[in-house]
Structure 1
Amino acid sequence: MLLRGFFQFVEIQTKVASVIPFTLGTLYALHRYGDFSFKNFIIMFISLISFDMATTAINNYCDYKKAHSNGGYNYEIKNAIEKYNIKESIALTIIFTLLAIATIFGILLALNTSLVVLLIGAVCFIAGIFYTFGPIPISRMPLGEVFSGIFMGFIITFLSIYIHIYNEGIMSVVYKNDILGISMNIKELVYVFLISIPLINGIANIMLANNICDIEEDIVNKRFTLPYYIGKENALRLFEVLYYIGYIDIVILVILGVFPVTSLLLLTTLIPISKNIKAFQNRPSKGETFVLAVKNFVLMNVSYVILTGTAILIN
């Protein structure tokens, strides 16, 4: 199997949706707490990317095995396994190898930090597997946008902050004398959630745009996603609203003093993003306009990352 086939099988280009929250969380830890652990940074990066590639590979493998459509959509031909003639044994080897790497480095990260990382990591592992696997995968339900947004936009951001400040009391779990105790700094956790909203909504919109474009094909393949239940027009309106919520959130963060006034420069990205929103709403197409959802996510959140880095320099 060529390297190109592997990259398409794991959809390497989509890993930006993991790397951006990871980077933002790291910069936020530096900005607000002044802490950075290079060792934990590297360990989490390896575990995160390996697990993201594994779940994508599982999704492509399951879609290849379970695809029902034919003739009109050529679903199997579009799948990397068919396109690059990847043997099923090799595909499974890739999946289990990536899962093993993610698990080993995840456990190592937990040993270097705290029980919180182990517990949250275990939840993410289970959610990631059932997102694409099982009799009714989450990705085939109207919960896909919520799960992808929360787990990739919030949980990754939280963990990428926590691994640098795990001993500063933002959250701790203690098991002693058969009693499990959990302590949380509610204020700081609320701030972490607020800084994650542009990421949560941007990632959710990538999946929403994908499901809007694939609504007819998904029905044929018995995938009843959110646009099926709320209707295509409402889904397109939701697509727009989620972006605007992200911008309102940035203004709130500046008012709360979490970020400096310079962070309001992010609002300038609203101009091209609004144009992309209208273009997608006018012609939702997988081949022509779906990429605009990805471009919007990258434009808004890379700018967000850059401005957060700038805030560090200002401080």
Structure 2
Amino acid sequence: MTIRNFLELIEFKAKAASVFPFCIGILYSIFNYRTMDMLNSIIFFIAMFLFNTAVDALDNYNDYFRAHSEHDYKQKTNIIGRERLSTKWILAYIILSSGTAALLGIYLVFKVGLTLLLLGIICFIVGIAYSTGPRPISASPFGELFAGFTMGFMITLICTYINVVNAFSWTVFSILSVFLISLPSTLWIANVMLANNICDFEEDTIEKRFTLVHYLGVKKALQLFKWNNILAYVAMILAIFFHLAPILLILGLLSIPLVYRQLQLFSRKQIKRETFVCSVRILGIGSFFQIISFILGVIIV
């Protein structure tokens, strides 16, 4: 297996989807609690990254064996069949990386408390169920919801908790506050999966993957894609209004013209190799502006 094949197997290009919520969690902790635990953050980042690669590798692994259209998808589209990768090696990597992530998570549990264990178990269950079993989440109408929830909200929540530990109170207000600050990332991550499912609509129908697009139709799915972007910016404004983020987060709105451009491109044409990248760019542009403006606000305040 070449490095290029490995990076495609773990979908390395999409790893920013988990890095952005992690950064938001750290910035939220610093701004609202005036604290950060560097060691806990590094350990969590490694565990998070390893498990994320395991989930994506597992997704490709399961899709390969579950494929119905033998010639088109299994041998031409899926990285395992196309590059004739060893399934035994891939399974070994999945076990090793997810096992290492679990051990690092257990170490953090001993440091910060059993609440983290519950949060970790939820993430592991969703990660495995995402592509495993007779009815995986990724092939259901709930894929976008769970992808955004775990990678957007849960990563930010865990990152906040491990940085502030005893200062964090598990109240409805505290949880909703983290949810609001993580909502832009949550929506943009969900949109990446939504865009993928829109582009793969015909292939998914053949493969009997009945995603959200199957139930909404492409036209309504595109409307949802647009409204998710609008709500992401509304969430930024509300975070400032409720004093959960520095006022300079308003600079994040400067990304709107760039995001709108990508939204237009994707709305006109939904082709995997040409315009799916628009959803990834929106995630990158929107999150980058959000994080940079948040950093400026933290420094100045």
TM-score (normalizing by structure 1): 0.93
Task: Return the offset for 1:258.
Answer: 2.0
CA distance in 2, matches of 1:120, 1:262: 31
Summarize deviations over 1:128-156 as a string: whole Å, max 9, x none: 10111011000000000000011111000
The equivalences for 1:1-150 within 5 A come to 1-70=1-70, 73-150=72-149
- Cα 1:233–1:89 shift into 2, 3 Å: same
Q: What residue is the counterpart of 2:220 in the other structure? A: 234
Tell me the SS of whatever aligns to 1:121.
helix
Structure 1 stretch displaced more, 94-103 or 61-70: 61-70
CA distance in 2, matches of 1:169, 1:17: 25
Q: What residue is the counterpart of 1:177 in the other structure? A: none
CA distance in 1, matches of 2:122, 2:139: 19
Task: Return the offset for 1:70.
Answer: 4.8
AA paired with 1:8? E
AA paired with 1:131? Y
Summarize deviations over 1:212-254 as a string: whole Å, max 9, x none: 0000000000000001101110000000000000111111111
Q: What residue is the counterpart of 2:209 in the other structure? A: 223
Q: Which runs of 5+ in 1 are unaligned?
A: 171-183
Q: Which runs of 5+ in 2 are unaligned?
A: none
CA distance in 2, matches of 1:76, 1:132: 19
Structure 1 stretch displaced more, 133-142 or 87-96: 87-96
AA paired with 1:23? C
Q: Do 1:36 and 1:164's aligned partners in 2 also have CA atoms closer than 8 Å?
A: yes
CA distance in 1, matches of 2:15, 2:168: 31
Q: Do 2:28 and 2:245's aligned partners in 1 also have CA atoms closer than 8 Å?
A: no
Q: Do 1:25 and 1:157's aligned partners in 2 also have CA atoms closer than 8 Å?
A: yes
AA paired with 1:264? I
Q: What residue is the counterpart of 2:275 in the other structure? A: 289
Q: Do 2:29 and 2:35's aligned partners in 1 also have CA atoms closer than 8 Å?
A: yes
Structure 1 stretch displaced more, 144-153 or 160-169: 160-169
Q: Do 2:33 and 2:167's aligned partners in 1 also have CA atoms closer than 8 Å?
A: no
Q: What residue is the counterpart of 2:229 in the other structure? A: 243
Tell me the SS of whatever aligns to 2:208.
coil
Q: Do 2:54 and 2:97's aligned partners in 1 also have CA atoms closer than 8 Å?
A: yes
Tell me the SS of whatever aligns to 2:130.
helix
Structure 1 stretch displaced more, 228-237 or 248-257: 248-257
Summarize deviations over 1:32-80 as a string: whole Å, max 9, x none: 1111111101110111011000010110001111111255x44432222
Q: Do 2:246 and 2:298's aligned partners in 1 also have CA atoms closer than 8 Å?
A: no
Identity of aligned residues (%): 36
Which is richer in helix?
A: 2
Structure 1 stretch displaced more, 74-83 or 158-167: 74-83
CA distance in 2, matches of 1:253, 1:163: 21
CA distance in 2, matches of 1:302, 1:290: 19
Q: What residue is the counterpart of 1:173 in the other structure? A: none
Kindly report the root-mean-square deviation, in angstroms, between the aligned alpha carbons of the 2 structures. Answer: 1.2
AA paired with 2:167? E
AA paired with 2:247? V
Q: What residue is the counterpart of 2:263 in the other structure? A: 277
Tell me the SS of whatever aligns to 1:167.
helix
Task: Return the offset for 1:29.
Answer: 0.7
CA distance in 2, matches of 1:86, 1:74: 15
CA distance in 2, matches of 1:169, 1:214: 42
AA paired with 2:118? L
Task: Return the offset for 1:259.
Answer: 2.2
Task: Return the offset for 1:261.
Answer: 2.5
Structure 1 stretch displaced more, 233-242 or 76-85: 76-85
